[in-house]
Amino acid sequence: MSRTILLIEDNEQNRYLATFMLEQSGYRVVSAADGVGGIEAAGRIGPDLILLDIQLPKMDGYAVARALRENPSLQATPIVAVTSYAMVGDREKSLAAGCNGYIEKPINPDTFVDEISRFLERAPGAEERP
């Protein structure tokens, strides 16, 4: 069964590109355009990994990460922040908010899927999966 990635990203082009690359590699992708929709989707589908844009309207990625971690069923789910290259402080703040790591925006098509795969391999319970 393919892994499901929840993509929380407000920019339509970024959403399209990330979804395309992940689906090409066999992942199932569910996307949300804002934090509220992302939190709702995460609780409903229980994704294998959450890819979280930090710059989101209304509720930013830090607040979304904290809300996701409040759900007991999502406490072990890897959350990967997507932060702007220029915003160095974002990385530390995203880790403090409960993210497991980050990747830089603009995403690099040559390394993006590999980076995501690595976060999945490191996830608790990953070694027990077939």
Element (H, E) at 65: helix 61-70
Residue number with CB closer to Mn ion (3 or 41): 41
Chain residues 14-53 in contact with Mn ion, contact rule CB under 5 A: 53
Half-sphere exposure of 35 (CA within 13 A, CB side): 17
Contact between 60 and Mn ion by CB under 5 A: the answer reads no
Residue number with CB closer to Mn ion (17 or 123): 17
Contact between 10 and Mn ion by CB under 5 A: the answer reads yes
Between CA 90 and CA 117 the distance in angstroms is 22
Element (H, E) at 53: strand 49-53
Stretch that binds Mn ion, among 55-63, 68-76, 102-110, 119-127 (CB under 5 A): 55-63
